[in-house]
């Protein structure tokens, strides 16, 4: 369990009880205790690849098979994971406070599955469960998709499997399906080979039948969805002040998300950081009136919001 200083908690509760306009900025640490890996630090490796290097348009162009295997794995573990007490507490606060807006950098769908009111949840970096055509200019196809794996070739092979033959791949896919049903497979195993997949094995756009589908997430160098940017800017630029921003389980290194902390400060917000690591502070450092609660978000957030 996490020890929280009573006076600090009380001062936070007093401020929250007087607050009407509140933001939360969520990062991967929120879902860590649901068993999902974070990006930076020890958790950020997928097999032997650094997750950050796979989350780029360049990585997808260079090796869509590799990047799709990474996202297929992420879709799988996200579907297996359950929202934790912090996801539920934030959803509950949204229902109680109409002026509460959650800005989530997470793509795992756990806030949605905790029934977070949808209008008060902005998905800054998209979601793993929307896929769209690579051709954004003409085709523009997109769909919600929870099929796991999205195509048979993306089933996760076991160690030592020969992945060069289609027959074997089909076989492996069926075996894996059975193993998954029996929850008898550790798919994070670094010894699992990464298959060399061809274009025809990967998810192809059902509308134009020409381009690949891609995960509906925001990669480095890509713009965030404009409706999301607009909603966040509208909230921040309203005339009224902002009372509070809660920064939960994020290293706050990726922009524009990290910049919202300072924008909220500029509108009067006090900052409350909930993180396992005190070094992951907002850029610009600590200010008078900030709160820092060190520990697991799934334990701390429900206590802060009770």
Q: Using CB under 6 A as the criterion, which residues of the chain lie in contact with ligand BJW when the complex forms?
A: 27-29, 32-33, 38-40, 55, 105, 107, 125, 217-223, 249-251, 253-256, 275-277, 280, 296-297
Strands 49-50 and 45-46: antiparallel
Q: How far is CA 42 from CA 38, 47, 97, in A?
A: 8, 12, 36
Cβ atoms 91, 100 nearer than 8 A? no
Nearer to ligand BJW, 195 or 218 (CB): 218
The distance of closest approach from Cβ of residue 98 to ligand BJW in the complex, given in angstroms and rounded to an integer, is: 26
The distance of closest approach from Cβ of residue 34 to ligand BJW in the complex, given in angstroms and rounded to an integer, is: 9
The distance of closest approach from Cβ of residue 110 to ligand BJW in the complex, given in angstroms and rounded to an integer, is: 13
Closest by Cα among 83, 108, 80 to 185 = 80
Interior/surface letters 241-259, b for 16+ CB within 10 angstroms, e for the rest: ebbbbbbbbbbbebeebbe
Nearer to ligand BJW, 30 or 172 (CB): 30
* DSSP summary character for residue 158: P
Nearer to ligand BJW, 38 or 169 (CB): 38
* DSSP summary character for residue 210: S
Nearer to ligand BJW, 221 or 285 (CB): 221
Closest by Cα among 84, 122, 87 to 101 = 122
The distance of closest approach from Cβ of residue 223 to ligand BJW in the complex, given in angstroms and rounded to an integer, is: 5
Nearer to ligand BJW, 116 or 169 (CB): 116
The distance of closest approach from Cβ of residue 150 to ligand BJW in the complex, given in angstroms and rounded to an integer, is: 15
State the Cα–Cα distance between residues 166 and 178, nearest whole angstrom.
19
| Token reading at 192 | 């699992």
Active site residue 15: no
Q: How far is CA 246 from CA 75, 201, 289, in A?
A: 27, 43, 13
Count, residues in the chain = 306
- Give the active site residue among 15, 116, 125, 177: 125
> What are the catalytic residues?
125
């Amino acid at each position: 369990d996490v020890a929280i200083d009573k006076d600090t908690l009380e001062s936070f509760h007093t401020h929250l009880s007087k607050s009407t306009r509140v933001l939360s900025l969520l990062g991967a640490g929120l879902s860590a205790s649901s068993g999902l890996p974070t990006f930076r630090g020890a958790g950020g490796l997928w097999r032997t690849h650094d997750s950050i290097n796979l989350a780029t348009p360049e990585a997808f162009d260079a090796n869509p098979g590799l990047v799709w295997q990474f996202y297929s794995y992420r879709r799988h573990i996200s579907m297996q994971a359950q929202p934790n007490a912090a996801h539920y507490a934030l959803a509950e606060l949204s229902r109680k406070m109409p002026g509460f807006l959650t800005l989530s950098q997470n793509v795992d769908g756990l806030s949605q599955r905790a029934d977070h009111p949808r209008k008060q949840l902005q998905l800054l970096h998209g979601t793993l469960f929307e896929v769209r055509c690579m051709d954004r200019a003409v085709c523009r196809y997109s769909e919600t998709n929870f099929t796991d794996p999205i195509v048979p070739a993306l089933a996760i092979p076991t160690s030592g499997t020969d992945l060069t033959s289609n027959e074997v791949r089909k076989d492996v896919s069926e075996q894996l399906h059975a193993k998954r049903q029996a929850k008898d497979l550790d798919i994070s195993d670094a010894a699992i080979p990464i298959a060399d997949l061809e274009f025809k094995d990967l998810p192809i756009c059902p509308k134009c039948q020409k381009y690949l589908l891609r995960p509906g997430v925001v990669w480095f160098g890509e713009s965030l969805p404009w409706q999301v940017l607009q909603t966040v800017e509208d909230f921040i630029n309203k005339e009224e002040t902002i009372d509070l921003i809660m920064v939960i389980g994020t290293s706050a290194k990726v922009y524009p998300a990290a910049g919202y902390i300072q924008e909220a400060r500029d509108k009067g917000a006090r900052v409350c950081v909930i993180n396992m690591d005190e070094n992951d502070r907002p850029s610009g450092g600590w200010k008078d009136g900030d709160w820092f609660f060190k520990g697991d978000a799934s334990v701390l957030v429900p206590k802060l919001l009770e």
